[in-house]
Structure 1
């Protein structure tokens, strides 16, 4: 019984340290009034800058979440020392949450100012998780 409790405690501790995927991150609140002095053109530029930064931060966050999941799988299959690997990944959750909040605030201000948003910008996603890369297989030598 004591052994099961210890294993459950270690498992819950280990899982608590995992880096969340971008889809699990909630946005931070950013007031749209922070952008009240921006023109529609400035808001367009800000929106594009936020999307570009979200791509960079989001890709790193996804990579770290996958690395943490791999470390945890290794921990569960092999031994406790692999949990140390989760300390080497940087959780960018706060940065990504702030970008989500800024994106929503800019979008709201564009709406409040009745800015014309081109269709390609309107339909542009804030962040799209990158597709997984399949390993390249080398041709066999026969």
Structure 2
């Protein structure tokens, strides 16, 4: 039996069940709320990936760092900064370079990789050079 917000599979026919998608608010290490979209069942990767922000670690952060390094190396319309160490830890250097990227792309400068930042970063700077990142970068589609 599956129970979601008080509804269970006992109280509704199995034919009417579809994958449940819901949003929850989690607190990160700094105590700030963060949006986390989660899905059960079938999903489109990327669209439901957690936002990536200061204090996070893992594959999503490694992909962001690699994408930012790729953008930074192009240095066509901005002053090149030192490359990030791709260690999977979202620290001050990653946040600062991400905020510069957001300003360069005329996005909301908040230092968080959400769907808007994720879309431009993934499709322009990550996907052409790195595979395995689509499911961990938040995108619009």
TM over 0.5: same fold? Answer: no
Normalised by the length of structure 2, the TM-score is 0.25
More helix by share: 1
Rg larger in structure: 1
More strand by share: 2
If asked which structure has higher relative contact order (CA below 8 Å, sep 6+), I would say: 1
Normalised by the length of structure 1, the TM-score is 0.25
